[in-house]
Structure formats: structure tokens, C-alpha cells
Structure 1
Amino acid sequence: MTTAPLLSASGLHVTFPGRRGGPSARAVDGVDLDIGAGEIVALVGESGCGKTTLARSLLGLVAPTAGRVTFSGEPLSYSSRALKSYRKRVQLVLQDPSGSLNPRHTVYDAVAEGLRIHGYTGDEREAVAEALSRAGLRPPERFFLRYPHELSGGQRQRVVIAGALVLEPELIVADEPVASLDASVRGEILALLLRLRDELGLSALVVTHDLGLAWNIADRVAVMYLGRIVESGPVEEVLTSPQHPYTQALLSVLPESGGAPVILTGEPPDPSRIPGGCRFHARCQVLASGEADRAGVADRCRTEGLPVLGRRGGVACHWA
């Protein structure tokens, strides 16, 4: 693994205008994140925490309000030509393969679409066949003339992955890549992503709400809450010894955790009205139980904000 990151976000903010002139929603509210060459990073958090918006911003689909994204040391430019070149090197794999694939296109056309958009001049049939083989659909010629409705859910997801691989990207962003699949198929797709990393040196950002998935696939994990990363580090370190109460709560619901699940009260706050102090304090089980009081940090939790967590990882929590 190289020391310089392949993809890097620095001080990233993404805000959306409020309704009827109301306050802006801070979907991403200060994020530093690195992804190294050949590294798989899991971005974890519950729905609405901003992880998909962060992923879209890293892909150049949403321009940041502040901060910047760099790829191979070069700042990302948002001109049409620069983005087209960038998206050849960084590909997206979406959650729902049925929604990602045009039902009127054959598997061959679905995989070849990226080649045609980018003006590929080599042997198209050979490139499509190789991408399908790498994605585990063999012999590939057997799938060329099939339509999405003729495939299983796992096969459809492999076609989506093949469509990303055909351009030989350096990094893929996978947004909940196995959420819509049966449990028996999930392991196969995760094993495929790991094999692609080992064989091709492919980097990946895997967006998920499932810490069990992160444990099985990632080298590093970043836990996101209300627009910020609140804990990050090597996956074994974070998931065997979580420091942030939010990470502890997410882990507590896994069957293998062995303890009683932590039930968080209420919903995540509105990103247009982020509370003062620690942004998790209104739902924090450590604060609610009196443990933060006993540690002498309860007032800081309620009133003192925390700095953006640096790219070296750690935990953003007064109590921790």
C-alpha cells in the first residue's frame, strides 16, 4: 500500500438550501477521509447520516460547498471534460441492481455502455467478456444476450460490477452493494470484491449501515453521524474496542456482540438544526445513564463542540 492516498477529502462540506428560505441542511459538515491504493474503507452509519451524500461528493456527482477532493494528488476539477476522465478511473456500484440496469438492454449492452461513452477503441467484445469473467459470470458469452429479468439478484449485481470493471477503474464506490441480496448471495459478492482487490489492486469505498459487512471486507472503517465522521481506524481496532457511544450502539445489535442491544432514543436531528455541543449528545446512552456525569464531562458534551476528526483516525467524543 502506498503512503500517499489515492483519494482524499479535506475539510469537505456539502450543504443544501432549506425549504422556503429556511436554514440550509448540512448533509456533510466537515470530513477528512483518505483511501489508499488497494485499500477497502467502509463508511458506516444509519440512514440519513450523510454517508451517501459524502460518497456522491467523492464521485464528483455533488460539488462540495467547501473543502476539496483530490485523486492521485490532483484536485478534482468539475468541468465536464475533467469529470468524464475522472469517472473512468472511479466507478459507482449502486445498491439496487434491478434499478441500475435498463430492462430493455442485454447484459452485453449494459456492460459495453461505459466503453461506448468513453470512446473505447479496442476490441469491445473481448473487453466485455473479460469484465464479466472477472465479475464471476462464466462463460461470459452465455450471458451476452440475456436480459436483467432472466438473471438472479446475485447475477444482476455481478453485471453491475462488470459494468464498473470494464473501464479498468482504480477505485470503486459501492453504495450498499449487498443490501438487496439474499444472505446466501451476500458472501459471494463480498468475496468477489476482496478477490478484485487482491488481483487488480482495486481500491473501494463501501457505504453501508451494516457493521458486520464492514468487519468481513474492510481494512479501515469510518463511522459517520449527522454529517461527520465520529470514529475511524483499522477495522479490527474499531470493531473490537469501539470508543464512541454511537459505534458501541451500532455494534450492540449484531448477534455476535453477546451483550444487550443499546436502543437509541429518538431520531437523528435535522441536519439543518444540528445541536450545540457533541452532535450525538441528545441520544447518547452514556450521557443518559449518568456515566458522563460521573466522568465529569457531561457539561462539555452538551455545550462544547468537537473538532473535525483528522485523517489519521481516532474518536470525536468528550467521554472517550
Structure 2
Amino acid sequence: MSADTDSRQPSSAPGSEGVGQPILSAEAVEVAFTAGFAPGGGRGTARAVDGVNLDVAAGEIVALVGESGCGKTTLARALLGLERPTGGRVVFEGSPLGYRSRDLRSYRRRVQLVQQDPTGSLNPRRTVYESVVEGLRVHEGTTADESERVAGALSRAGLRPPERFFARYPHELSGGQRQRVVIAGALILDPEVLVADEPVASLDASVRGEILRLLLELRAELGLSALVATHDLGLAWNIADRVAVMYLGRVVELGTVEEVLSAPAHPYTRALLSVLPDSEASEGPVVLSGEPPDPKQVPRGCRFHPRCPVLASGEAERAGVADLCTSADPAVLGGGAQRRVACHWSAADGSGRLRADGPAAP
């Protein structure tokens, strides 16, 4: 598996021995946008997130992977309380998330966002100190130990000595340093969960590994949990305990990183993995035809079937599930730690059987 660095330690990962009590959960979460607000425009209702169950346990890192437009960012925003679900609910430490200002204010101290583009998320007119302290002042006002807490957050984010960075502006920093400032701004409130949306996508390859290692160190030192949305399966392999593969608003495969990335069961996951430089796929790279369907017009049956190479090659027909693929929607996957896949072919006997322990449906 290609990666900038392989600093993950599977033997100590929570996901390797099953997930404990979830700290953050999506329970049948749906997010729909009506005409005029739907991504891409046009008429109708876009089901950006279409029934997702996903748990993040204390001290666990979950990677949410898939192509652009699959719903990763919308789900992340829903988990942050930035997007209110049109169905289902977000649960934090066993209690449903409330959407009153007071509830969200309290929640956002404990669940923090790490954005994709540090250059865009940092105000160019603010110093590093002003950017990092902003969240603290919003939630607590000016405190006597403000400078000490800013220094501590910068230090934990790997910017040492921290005082050296206080008066600097974003344009005076490297891309990796700017991302560390963004992370420090999240850490200053001592959150329990980080939600990171493509945290290294805008960085040079030479510094991606440093940021990934930092996230792992924060998990080890502070017990942080994290949901990392990414299209990069190499990143998922190096940082995650579990992987959720998302396609057109649904999680279609879920399991530990070793289960999903070493023995993918869903044709979509197989296709994503096959194009990695060191892929061991026997059939070579699988190029998916077309683009993901419009979320305002989700295909009947399995939502992946119009692009599915297994259906197109006749393998699904030989396994006796071709009609199901085009007419029956696979069950929405449950959450938890159990290995799951939403695919008629993978659940069938013969060449399409699920190549891992655990059921194909909830």
C-alpha cells in the first residue's frame, strides 16, 4: 500500500480488537437539499447523505473514503452540527445532538473541525497567535492564561518553540506549518474528537507524512478520536483503525483497515484500490465508466450498478444476482465494528462471496 509514511501501529489500534462504546455516531443520518440549494443545481431533491450509520469510538481513527461528490464532506458537516440532518440523528456520548445555540456551543468545544485548505481557512491579516486564540475567546473570553494555552496548543501541534510563531502571518509559513496552526486552533479547546476533511490534500508529499504522524501522536498522547474524510486510500491505510467506503451518499463497505484494504469485498472498493501504484489487483487497474450519478436521481437497485465492472463483465450474472443488482437496493449498513458490505454479489456464494468474516447486511 503506497503512502508517504507508514507510522500506523495495527497491534495497538482500537479497531484491531473491535470498537468500544462510541463517542460519536451517525444513526440513519440523511441530508437532502431541495431544488435551488442542491449541489450542481437543477430541479429535484439531492440526497447527499442517504441513510448512514457510522460510529467513532474513543481513541479511534475512522477514515471515510470515496470519490469527490460521494457525500463525505456533507456527512462530516452533519457530524459537526454545521448541517442539520433531514433524517436520523447525530449522537455524542450517548445523547442526541441538540441544535439550540447553547447546545451547539457546548458541543463544538468538544468536537472540532480541521479544514482541508489551511491557506483558505487562516485569515491572512491575523497573526498565528490571533488565529489560534480565536476559538478560546469565543468560548471563554480573554483568560489570564491565554498566552500559555496558545503556546501549549502550538507546541502540541509541533510548532516549537511556540513563541517564535506568535507574531508571524500565514504567508510567512510553509504549507505544513499553516496546517499545524489550524490543528493548534482546534486543540486549544481540548476537544475529544477531531473531524478532518482532507487534512493533507493541499500539502506537498514531503510534508503529508509529518501531519499524519502528528495526528497519530495526538491520538496516543491525548486520547483523541478522529473522523478523517479523504479520497486517498494510502492515507487511510497509514492512519486509520477502521475504514468506511462511501458512494453516492451511502456507506457501502465498512471494516478494519486491514479487512477493507487488504481484502476488499465491494466492487467499488476494489476499483479504488486497483489504481494505486503498488496495487496487487490481479486484473490490473479498474477504470470506472462515467461519473457518479446525480444524487437527485439515484439509480434503482444497487446505486453502483450503472458503473459496476462485476455486473458489466457478467460475473454478477454467473453468481445469479444480476437481477437483484438492478432492482433491489442493498440494505443500509449498520454501524459498530462488524465487517459489512452492501453488495448482492459479495453476499452471494461462489466468486462473489464476502471475503471476510461477518454478514453483508446489518
Letter of the 1:221 partner, please give it. V
Q: Deviations over 1:260-308 (max 9, x none)?
A: 1100000100001001000000000000111111111101000111111
Please report how far the alpha carbon of residue 198 of structure 1 lies from its aligned counterpart in structure 2 after TM superposition: 0.2
Letter of the 1:227 partner, please give it. G
- Give 1:70-85 correspondences, 5 Å limit: 70-85=91-106
- Give 1:206-217 correspondences, 5 Å limit: 206-217=228-239
Q: Deviations over 1:47-98 (max 9, x none)?
A: 0000100000000000000100110111100001110110000000001000
What corresponds to 2:57 in structure 1? 36
Q: Please give the alpha-carbon distance, in whole angstroms, between the structure 2 residues aligned to 1:112 and 1:238.
A: 39
Q: Please give the alpha-carbon distance, in whole angstroms, between the structure 2 residues aligned to 1:122 and 1:298.
A: 67
Say which of 284, 300, 305 aligns to 2:324.
Answer: 300
Alignment partner of 2:22: what SS?
coil
2:123 is the counterpart of 1:102: yes
Task: Extract unaligned runs of 5+ from structure 2.
Answer: 1-13, 347-362
Q: Please give the alpha-carbon distance, in whole angstroms, between the structure 2 residues aligned to 1:153 and 1:253.
A: 27
Letter of the 1:53 partner, please give it. T
Q: Deviations over 1:14-47 (max 9, x none)?
A: 0000249932100000000000000000000000
Which shows bigger deviation, 17-26 or 132-141?
Answer: 17-26
What corresponds to 1:182 in structure 2? 204
Alignment partner of 1:179: what SS?
coil
The answer to whether the 8 A contact 1:38-1:197 is kept is yes
Q: Please give the alpha-carbon distance, in whole angstroms, between the structure 1 residues aligned to 2:116 and 2:26.
A: 23
What corresponds to 2:306 in structure 1? 282
What corresponds to 2:253 in structure 1? 231
Q: 1:195 to 1:12 in 2, by over 3 A?
A: same
Letter of the 1:118 partner, please give it. H
Alignment partner of 2:67: what SS?
coil
Q: Deviations over 1:168-222 (max 9, x none)?
A: 0000000000000010100000000000000000000000000110000000000
Alignment partner of 1:57: what SS?
helix
**Number of residue pairs matched?**
320
What corresponds to 1:315 in structure 2? 341
Letter of the 1:185 partner, please give it. V
Please report how far the alpha carbon of residue 256 of structure 1 lies from its aligned counterpart in structure 2 after TM superposition: 1.3
What corresponds to 2:20 in structure 1? 3
Which shows bigger deviation, 254-263 or 28-37?
Answer: 254-263
Which shows bigger deviation, 146-155 or 256-265?
Answer: 256-265
The answer to whether the 8 A contact 1:15-1:25 is kept is yes
Say which of 140, 159, 171 aligns to 1:119.
Answer: 140
2:219 is the counterpart of 1:197: yes
The answer to whether the 8 A contact 1:41-1:206 is kept is yes
2:74 is the counterpart of 1:50: no
The answer to whether the 8 A contact 1:172-1:202 is kept is yes
Please report how far the alpha carbon of residue 122 of structure 1 lies from its aligned counterpart in structure 2 after TM superposition: 4.7
Task: Extract unaligned runs of 5+ from structure 1.
Answer: none
- Give 1:148-187 correspondences, 5 Å limit: 148-187=170-209
Please report how far the alpha carbon of residue 317 of structure 1 lies from its aligned counterpart in structure 2 after TM superposition: 0.1
Alignment partner of 1:233: what SS?
strand
2:32 is the counterpart of 1:15: yes
2:161 is the counterpart of 1:139: yes
Alignment partner of 1:255: what SS?
coil
Q: 1:175 to 1:253 in 2, by over 3 A?
A: same
What corresponds to 2:355 in structure 1? none
What corresponds to 1:267 in structure 2? 291
Q: Deviations over 1:211-237 (max 9, x none)?
A: 110000000000000000000000011
Say which of 108, 111, 117 aligns to 1:90.
Answer: 111
Q: Please give the alpha-carbon distance, in whole angstroms, between the structure 2 residues aligned to 1:171 and 1:21.
A: 36
Alignment partner of 1:256: what SS?
coil
Q: Please give the alpha-carbon distance, in whole angstroms, between the structure 1 residues aligned to 2:219 and 2:264.
A: 26
Alignment identity in percent?
Answer: 73
Q: Please give the alpha-carbon distance, in whole angstroms, between the structure 1 residues aligned to 2:300 and 2:144.
A: 56
Q: Please give the alpha-carbon distance, in whole angstroms, between the structure 1 residues aligned to 2:140 and 2:237.
A: 39
Q: 1:266 to 1:251 in 2, by over 3 A?
A: same
TM-score using structure 1 length: 0.98
Q: Please give the alpha-carbon distance, in whole angstroms, between the structure 2 residues aligned to 1:272 and 1:122.
A: 52
Letter of the 1:310 partner, please give it. G
2:275 is the counterpart of 1:253: yes
